[in-house]
């Protein structure tokens, strides 16, 4: 990237700030900026490498279905998170590589009762792939809840507060994945939606999903008239609309055939997915030419690459952010984000590197960063719970029971009060095998409110440790540490009817293994994973840890990668609590700099 006066001045300012910080903080809290610092900083098998390059995935965690909007010199990303609350995480970046959490669009999943703590029946649904837009001083976030329809929330500041969602179309007409566009030349606003087969006429004999464009009101909150069909294709969804140099482009993800096929619209026995682009020089409604622009390559030959957002750097180069799909092997970290260079050939965007010279791009593994001069950052992970608000890395399993958690009752600690487990009957908890690889869906864990967790990072190694105060636990209460995605495995403490506390391990089918008695107030849990194999250890003094429970396999499921967090429930009544003092998580990748 060509250096300018502004970039040099910016670098000097950052270096001065770092020097000041270094003189007034502990070494481990030093902000990473200079090349020397980067070489000594924590890097790893993904993300910023500290040498001007990055390794994909740059965001190697469960941040699926991204959409990105640039305002000024900052890129903002939303990603779906289904039944987790708060919903629709928001991240920001200055260089497209290093991303940090800045909030959520939906404070809670307020539009339906199944997402509440007393139902917990919204697994896999909630917030799906959305579209983030900024227009005339207002932020917009569109998304379709498969169970309820198209909605939009608005805000004046990306960090909120966001409005309550406005419903725009019913679920009877739409399936998923809205993408919006304001055409300043014609003063018209549009949204494209995968309507699947919900409006399909018998005259449309093309197999697959229908994608329709609707005109919206200029304020982006109302649908005007009926939609117009512009494309049908198998699994065709996740559309994004762009208008570049007078030409209309619609980016779509679509299922195709085999690992080497380039033809859109052919059945795929290997569950492969590619990125296609529709191009029209005439109208947003077409007619469109179609071309495949991204497919599997050698970098990720076991996972499809598609669905994302187009971006442009200050030097006018083009880039594309996309997810890796949950095939062929099940990815236990979820669906991570990759960054690809984009080259324009004959008016078509070729994403990644055309490594086999067939006119179609494949993902890169390592590449030069789009923008230099910014420090290594990452989503937050560690927490000492000294703030009066939860960090943005944390999300609840469904909407929490807000009377049953606190950061102020025991200052500096997170208190989780135990609610009585929900009934094991229809209308509560997940349905067996509903969008999931989990056969233990009737286990108590899935019907326990106020489970709080965050994503794992990467697929190599990781170590998480937490300290608990168990002195407030009551008979029939279970509380401690849990790993869960498609399956759960937990280690904690159970209190019997006489008030005695015992270590307990529980597997994904709810089978308990009882361990030694615990007497004191302190309890520590450490969990380590080597690839998808994980185990638990416990300690009562924070120094000497003992293994407990088997080595288990962590897995993707319910459209969710493995997560690390805390649980607390009671089998008989609302009684007891557990306090969490701190949580640390080390993994094989970039980590956010600590602050005082």
Q: What are the tens digits of pLDDT across the range 69-120?
A: 999 999 999 999 999 999 999 999 999 999 999 999 999 999 999 999 999 9
**Average pLDDT for residues 52-59, to the nearest whole number?**
98
Most confident of 41-45, 438-442, 459-463, 588-592: 459-463
Q: What values do phi and psi take at 574, rounded to 5?
A: -80, 100
* Contact call for residues 361 and 354 (beta carbons, < 8 A): yes
Question: In this model, does residue 356 exceed pLDDT 90?
Answer: yes
Question: pLDDT per residue over 264-311, tens digit each?
Answer: 555 555 578 899 999 999 999 999 999 999 998 999 988 889 999 999
The reported pLDDT for the residue numbered 260 is: 52
Separation of alpha carbons 65 and 82, rounded Å: 11
Report percent pLDDT > 90 for the chain. Answer: 82
Least confident range of 406-410, 425-429, 569-573: 425-429
- pLDDT, averaged across the chain: 90
Question: pLDDT per residue over 497-532, tens digit each?
Answer: 999 999 999 999 999 999 999 999 999 999 999 999
The reported pLDDT for the residue numbered 432 is: 59
Question: In this model, does residue 27 exceed pLDDT 80?
Answer: no
The reported pLDDT for the residue numbered 326 is: 80
The reported pLDDT for the residue numbered 272 is: 83
The reported pLDDT for the residue numbered 263 is: 54
Q: Are strands 47-48 and 53-55 parallel, antiparallel or unpaired?
A: antiparallel
What lies within 8 Å, CB to CB, of 267 at 6+ separation is: 207, 234, 255, 257
Return the beta strands (E) in 26-155 as ranges.
Answer: 47-48, 53-55, 67-71, 74-78, 84-85, 87-93, 100-106, 130-135, 138-145, 149-155
The encoded tokens of residue 99 equal 């991303």
Question: pLDDT per residue over 144-192, tens digit each?
Answer: 999 999 999 999 999 999 999 999 999 999 999 999 999 999 999 999 9
Separation of alpha carbons 210 and 493, rounded Å: 51
Question: In this model, does residue 136 exceed pLDDT 80?
Answer: yes
C-alpha 30 chain-centroid distance: 28
The encoded tokens of residue 180 equal 């919006």
Tell the residue number behind the tokens 């305002």, with chain if given.
71
In angstroms, the Cα distances linking 366 to 302, 341, 359, 452 are 17, 11, 20, 34
Question: pLDDT per residue over 187-240, tens digit each?
Answer: 999 999 999 999 999 999 999 999 999 999 999 999 999 999 999 998 999 999
Cα dihedral across residues 326, 331, 332, 334: positive or negative: negative
Question: pLDDT per residue over 460-505, tens digit each?
Answer: 999 999 999 999 999 999 999 999 998 999 999 999 999 999 999 9
C-alpha 220 chain-centroid distance: 25
Separation of alpha carbons 154 and 163, rounded Å: 5
In angstroms, the Cα distances linking 288 to 206, 230, 250, 476 are 16, 8, 9, 63
431 pLDDT tier (thresholds 50, 70, 90)? confident
Separation of alpha carbons 149 and 401, rounded Å: 25
Question: pLDDT per residue over 325-342, tens digit each?
Answer: 887 667 899 999 999 999
The reported pLDDT for the residue numbered 24 is: 32
What lies within 8 Å, CB to CB, of 86 at 6+ separation is: 104, 105, 106, 107, 108, 395, 396
The reported pLDDT for the residue numbered 257 is: 55
Separation of alpha carbons 248 and 285, rounded Å: 9
Separation of alpha carbons 193 and 277, rounded Å: 15
* Contact call for residues 475 and 497 (beta carbons, < 8 A): yes
Separation of alpha carbons 237 and 298, rounded Å: 25
Q: Are strands 461-469 and 522-530 parallel, antiparallel or unpaired?
A: antiparallel
Question: In this model, does residue 596 exceed pLDDT 50?
Answer: no
Separation of alpha carbons 32 and 34, rounded Å: 7
The reported pLDDT for the residue numbered 556 is: 87
**Average pLDDT for residues 237-260, to the nearest whole number?**
88
The reported pLDDT for the residue numbered 594 is: 63
DSSP element (H, E) containing 150: strand 149-155
Question: In this model, does residue 14 exceed pLDDT 60?
Answer: no
Q: Which residues of 273-288 are buried (b: 16+ CB within 10 A; e: fewer)?
A: bbbbbbbbeeebebeb
Separation of alpha carbons 413 and 387, rounded Å: 9
Question: In this model, does residue 559 exceed pLDDT 80?
Answer: yes
Separation of alpha carbons 387 and 559, rounded Å: 31
* Contact call for residues 413 and 522 (beta carbons, < 8 A): no
Best CA proximity match to 587, nearest among 498, 486, 404, 459: 459
* Contact call for residues 527 and 464 (beta carbons, < 8 A): yes
Report percent pLDDT > 70 for the chain. Answer: 88
SS3 content of the chain, % helix, strand, coil (to 5): 5, 45, 50
Separation of alpha carbons 158 and 140, rounded Å: 9
* 273 φψ region: left (φ > 0), alpha (ψ -120 to 50), beta (else): beta
């Amino acid at each position: 990237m060509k250096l300018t006066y502004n970039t040099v001045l910016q670098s000097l300012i950052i270096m001065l700030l770092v020097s000041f910080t270094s003189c007034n903080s502990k070494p481990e809290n030093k902000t990473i900026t200079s090349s020397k610092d980067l070489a000594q900083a924590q890097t790893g098998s993904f993300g910023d490498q500290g040498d001007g390059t990055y390794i994909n995935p740059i965001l190697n965690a469960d941040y699926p279905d991204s959409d990105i909007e640039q305002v000024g010199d900052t890129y903002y990303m939303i990603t779906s998170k289904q039944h987790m609350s708060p919903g629709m995480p928001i991240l920001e970046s200055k260089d497209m590589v290093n991303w940090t959490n800045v909030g959520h669009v939906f404070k809670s999943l307020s539009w339906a009762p199944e997402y509440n703590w007393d139902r917990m029946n919204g697994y896999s649904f909630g917030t799906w792939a959305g579209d983030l837009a900024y227009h005339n001083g207002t932020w917009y976030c569109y998304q379709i809840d498969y169970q309820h329809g198209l909605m939009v929330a608005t805000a004046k500041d990306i960090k909120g507060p966001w409005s309550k969602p406005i419903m725009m179309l019913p679920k009877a007409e739409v399936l998923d994945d809205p993408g919006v566009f304001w055409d300043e030349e014609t003063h018209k606003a549009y949204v494209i939606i995968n309507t699947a087969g919900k409006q399909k006429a018998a005259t449309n004999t093309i197999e697959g999903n229908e994608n329709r464009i609707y005109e919206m009101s200029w304020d982006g909150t109302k649908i005007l008239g009926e939609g117009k069909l512009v494309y049908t294709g198998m699994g065709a969804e996740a559309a994004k609309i762009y208008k570049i140099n007078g030409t209309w482009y619609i980016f779509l993800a679509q299922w195709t055939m085999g690992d080497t096929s380039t033809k859109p619209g052919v059945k795929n026995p290997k569950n492969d997915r590619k990125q296609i682009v529709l191009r029209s020089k005439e109208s947003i409604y077409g007619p469109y030419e179609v071309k495949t622009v991204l497919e599997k390559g050698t970098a990720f030959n076991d996972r499809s690459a598609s669905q994302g957002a187009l971006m442009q750097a200050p030097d006018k180069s083009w880039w594309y952010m996309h997810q890796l799909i949950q095939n062929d092997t099940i990815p236990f970290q979820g669906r991570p984000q990759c960054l690809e260079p984009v080259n324009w050939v004959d008016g078509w965007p070729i994403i990644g590197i055309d490594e086999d010279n067939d006119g179609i791009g494949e993902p890169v593994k390592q590449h030069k960063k789009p923008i230099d001069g910014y420090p290594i950052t990452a989503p937050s992970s560690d927490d000492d719970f000294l703030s009066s608000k939860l960090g943005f890395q944390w999300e609840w399993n469904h909407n929490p029971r807000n009377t049953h958690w606190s950061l102020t009752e025991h200052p500096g600690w997170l208190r989780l009060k135990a609610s009585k487990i929900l009934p094991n009957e229809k209308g509560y908890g997940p349905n067996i095998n509903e969008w999931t690889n989990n056969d233990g869906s009737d286990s108590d864990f899935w019907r326990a409110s106020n489970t709080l967790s965050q994503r794992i990072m990467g697929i190599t190694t990781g170590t998480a440790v937490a300290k608990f105060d168990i002195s407030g636990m009551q008979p029939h209460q279970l509380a401690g540490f849990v790993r869960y995605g498609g399956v759960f495995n937990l280690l904690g403490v159970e209190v019997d009817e006489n008030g005695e506390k015992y270590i307990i391990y529980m597997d994904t089918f709810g089978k308990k293994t009882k361990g030694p008695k615990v007497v004191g107030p302190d309890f520590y849990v450490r969990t380590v994973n080597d690839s998808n194999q994980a185990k638990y250890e416990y300690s009562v003094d924070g120094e000497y840890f003992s293994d407990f429970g088997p080595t288990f396999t962590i897995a993707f499921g319910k459209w969710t990668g493995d997560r690390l967090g805390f649980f607390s429930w009671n089998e008989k009544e609302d009684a007891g609590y557990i306090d969490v003092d701190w949580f640390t998580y080390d993994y094989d990748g970039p980590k956010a700099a600590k602050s005082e």
